[in-house]
């Protein structure tokens, strides 16, 4: 049986959810829950309320160290690709592209360049990709 055990914010504690119930929105409706906190998104980048509703109520989240944050680009939410570190960004040849992002502060950029961003480590990266132009965007946090 395939089930989802990631973040889901509701009054009730829910251990697992079925993927079909997530995709249709039934899980969010039944438990009055959300998969993302709208305040932890690039919502100001996305003007279509239907896209925000889909992200919050029908898109499985990811587990971060602190508050997860969902990136957006080209007036739409990005696809979440998974956890990354400096090594993976270099292997994909996208390190410089993600470092151009003004949302990352200079301290984080320096640590990323120095190889301190480690997938599965205390300084974790989360990679996103724009659904329209293909640009890669990064979110990172520290435990």
- Residue 11: the pLDDT is 86
Q: Is the pLDDT of residue 74 over 80?
A: yes
Domain of residue 122 covers: 19-142
| pLDDT above 70: percentage of residues in the chain | 99
Assess if residue 6 is contained within a domain: no
pLDDT digits (tens, 9 = 90+) for 95-134: 999 999 999 999 999 999 999 999 999 999 999 999 999 9
Q: Is the pLDDT of residue 1 over 80?
A: no
Assess if residue 126 is contained within a domain: yes
Query: What does pTM read for this prediction?
Result: 0.90
Assess if residue 4 is contained within a domain: no
C-alpha 47: how far from its chain's center? 18
Assess if residue 29 is contained within a domain: yes
- Residue 25: the pLDDT is 93
Assess if residue 42 is contained within a domain: yes
Assess if residue 5 is contained within a domain: no
Number of domains in the chain: 1
Assess if residue 10 is contained within a domain: no
Buried b (16+ CB within 10 A) or exposed e, 61-79: bbebeeebbbbbbeebbbe
């Amino acid at each position: 049986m395939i089930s989802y055990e990631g973040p889901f914010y509701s009054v009730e504690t829910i251990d697992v959810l079925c993927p079909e119930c997530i995709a249709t929105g039934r899980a969010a409706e039944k438990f009055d829950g959300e998969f993302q906190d709208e305040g932890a998104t690039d919502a100001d980048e996305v003007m279509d309320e239907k896209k925000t509703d889909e992200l919050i109520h029908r898109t499985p989240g990811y587990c971060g160290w602190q508050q997860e944050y969902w990136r957006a680009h080209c007036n739409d939410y990005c696809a979440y690709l998974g956890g990354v570190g400096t090594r993976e960004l270099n292997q994909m040849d996208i390190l410089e592209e993600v470092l151009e992002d003004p949302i990352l502060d200079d301290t984080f950029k320096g640590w990323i360049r120095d190889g301190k961003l480690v997938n599965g480590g205390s300084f974790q990266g989360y990679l996103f990709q724009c659904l329209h132009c293909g640009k890669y965007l990064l979110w990172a946090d520290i435990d």
